[in-house]
Structure 1
Amino acid sequence: MPAARESLLDAAYTALGRRPWSAVRMVDVAAAAGVSRQTLYNEFGSKDGLARALVRREADAYLAGVERALVSHAEPRERLAAAAEWTVSAARGNALVRAMLTGCWAERLPSPTLSAVPSSSAVPAQRRADGPLPSPGDFVGLVRDRAVASLTVPGTSKSEASELARACELVVRLGVSCVLAPAGEGGTAGMVRDALTTVRSVS
């Protein structure tokens, strides 16, 4: 039941914004979503299952934002600057995204293991959530690969593709570094533009 699942995840996210995850009660999440506690357990199996599904949803939303940023401009350099800016703004506005990108899980957050957990769920979305969750290094690769796919044009040589991949990874790592230590004058986008000035493949 996709609608109930989303309502439950919304309720869990709202609850997490008000209190530590350890104090979030399943019965309260179910009540806020307008469903029974049994429906909640049928969907997620346990509180850990709910946490993993919530983290997976926020990860997917972050990556969807990256893809939007990568088509938001005509110039390749501006696309990468937009993706880096999105990374910083997404992490600023969402504690789960910040934790996933940096690996720094605050005490008030759920801390699901990154490795897969045994799943007997009949819900396909939950079986996916019970699979391995991305680590900070995984996110670098995921965003880099999306950027490379967005910027690669027909006829790109192997050496140009390699240079592009290095430039994209540089941008991703700059974005994550600005999550931990905000950029100064010029902001994240300005830092990315400066870093890419001499990179032919994205100029």
Structure 2
Amino acid sequence: MPAARESLLDAARAALLRRPWSAVRMVDVAAAAGVSRQTLYNEFGSKEGLARALVRREADGYLAGVDRALAAQGGPCERLVAVAEWTVSAARDNALTRAMLTGCWSERLPAPTLSAVPSSSVVPAQRRADGPLPSPQDLAAVVRDRAVALLSPPGASGAETADLARTCELVLRLALSCVMVPPGEGGVAALVRGALHHRPA
């Protein structure tokens, strides 16, 4: 991603921390990034395009954290615990991530449409940002599938892979429940370990 594009997204995110998205002005985002307003429009086409790109970047950041958790040392259980802890932490610290994971968009946030923007309105730099944005179900499926791909033992049977997929989805849904209702003593890690320990073989 070009440096100007990254700077603009950084500026948009910083502006969103200070005021509701409806009060974020394109001219202020451009000035904070040190580029012209025309450059901003060339990159994103509109404020909606900027919002879509910002949401997609936050989704990419969340998924990068999932990948780090899955690549950590330890057995499958501990790596799934790490995914759950990252999910709760990311959602707690980032309102956009929380909205993407739960589908609960507040008035302060941009709420770009999830469907693709017609290609006739897309400039080259926008192509990926203007594709369909992930719904909560999409993100959950991506996390589940990445976990299965990394945690499946060599030569796993179809039944074993399907069981692992159910386990991964259970862990993610437990984490999401902790996003909505913070867990008690022991946090999400204790909840996930307990669920995995008592899960029927």
TM-score scaled to structure 2, two decimals?
Answer: 0.96
Which residue in 2 is equivalent to 1:30? 30
Say whether residues 1:132 and 2:132 are aligned partners: yes
Amino acid at match of 2:156: T
TM-superposed CA distance for 1:200, in Å, is 7.7
Instruction: Give percent identity, aligned residues only.
Output: 74
Question: Could you say what secondary structure the match of 2:105 adopts?
Answer: coil
TM-superposed CA distance for 1:73, in Å, is 2.3
1:161-186 per-position Cα deviation (integer Å, ceiling 9, x unaligned)? 11111100000111111100111111
Equivalent-residue separation in structure 1 for 2:124 and 2:174 (angstroms): 37
1:86-141 per-position Cα deviation (integer Å, ceiling 9, x unaligned)? 000000110000000010000010010111111343434x2111111111111111
TM-superposed CA distance for 1:5, in Å, is 0.1
Equivalent-residue separation in structure 1 for 2:165 and 2:71 (angstroms): 17
Q: List runs of 5+ in structure 1 lacking aligned partners.
A: none
Which residue in 2 is equivalent to 1:12? 12
Equivalent-residue separation in structure 2 for 1:12 and 1:94 (angstroms): 14
Amino acid at match of 2:193: R
Which residue in 2 is equivalent to 1:103? 103
1:2-45 per-position Cα deviation (integer Å, ceiling 9, x unaligned)? 10000000000000000000000000000000000000000000
Question: Could you say what secondary structure the match of 1:159 adopts?
Answer: helix
Which residue in 2 is equivalent to 1:63? 63
Equivalent-residue separation in structure 1 for 2:136 and 2:150 (angstroms): 21
Residues 28-177 of structure 1: pairs in structure 2 closer than 5 A: 28-119=28-119, 120-124=121-125, 126-177=126-177
RMSD over aligned Cα, in angstroms?
1.3
Question: Could you say what secondary structure the match of 1:104 adopts?
Answer: coil
Amino acid at match of 2:186: G
Q: List runs of 5+ in structure 2 lacking aligned partners.
A: none
Moved more, 2-11 or 185-194: 185-194
TM-superposed CA distance for 1:199, in Å, is 4.6
Equivalent-residue separation in structure 2 for 1:103 and 1:199 (angstroms): 28
Question: Could you say what secondary structure the match of 1:54 adopts?
Answer: helix
Equivalent-residue separation in structure 2 for 1:16 and 1:97 (angstroms): 13
TM-superposed CA distance for 1:150, in Å, is 1.1
Amino acid at match of 1:48: E
Amino acid at match of 1:166: R
Moved more, 144-153 or 113-122: 113-122
Equivalent-residue separation in structure 1 for 2:150 and 2:37 (angstroms): 43
Equivalent-residue separation in structure 2 for 1:136 and 1:102 (angstroms): 6
TM-score scaled to structure 1, two decimals?
Answer: 0.95
